[in-house]
Structure 1
Amino acid sequence: MAAAAGSRVSGLLGRSRLLSQPMSSGAHSEEGSARMWKALTYFVALPAVGVSMLNVFLKSHHGEEERPEFIAYPYIHIRSKPFPWGDGNPTLSVTLM
């Protein structure tokens, strides 16, 4: 029974036009694909960047919230070995300044 069902399915798949066509990376030609990505860039990506920039701008001017005071807990800056520059103690950003 399973063999009959398997042969029926393989027969249906063999006659399918979708499976007889070669699989490619896309259904569009190169020009169509380039046009699609160009449109996506202009109509999706750039407006998304603009909305994100507007959100950051409005949030930064909305109101300044004070940060909580920094507490230097002893487990925050644990170093198991020295840094490979200078005397090994300061971070690279402090060393470059």
Structure 2
Amino acid sequence: MFRTVAKRQAKTIGRRFQSNLDKPAFSAPDLAKGAEFVKHTEAVVNHANSSSSTWKKLSLFLAAPIILATAVNTVIVEKEHAEHREHSKHLSDEEWPVPKYPYLNIRRVDFFWGDGDKTLFWNSDCNRHIK
């Protein structure tokens, strides 16, 4: 029994690693299949060239101006925001033009850093302590 299984496994392993033994070692090339392969390869290359040139044009003439326009708009908006923040920096906490919502600055327990009243990300230029 063991020998039969071993022979069968040897045949299977031999078939897996030497599966081309039943074919001739050399055969004449098939010119039609070679020409078809070359034609297919050239078609793939032509398609790749046209696709890449299309994406290059889209990136250059569409994406770059959109990114530039967005960057200019962002710079303008942020410049106005910085000017407004600089203008309102000198205002006291009571003069700060923010509605006094009841949920702002609720402190049930003091923070264990600093004076215990300001959060970890407190920024005195834009955060106000409303009592």
TM over 0.5: no
Q: Which has the higher contact order (CA 8 A, sep 6+)?
A: 2
Q: TM-score range by the shorter chain?
A: 0.3 to 0.5
> Which TM-score applies when normalising by structure 1?
0.43
> Which TM-score applies when normalising by structure 2?
0.34
Greater Rg by CA: 2
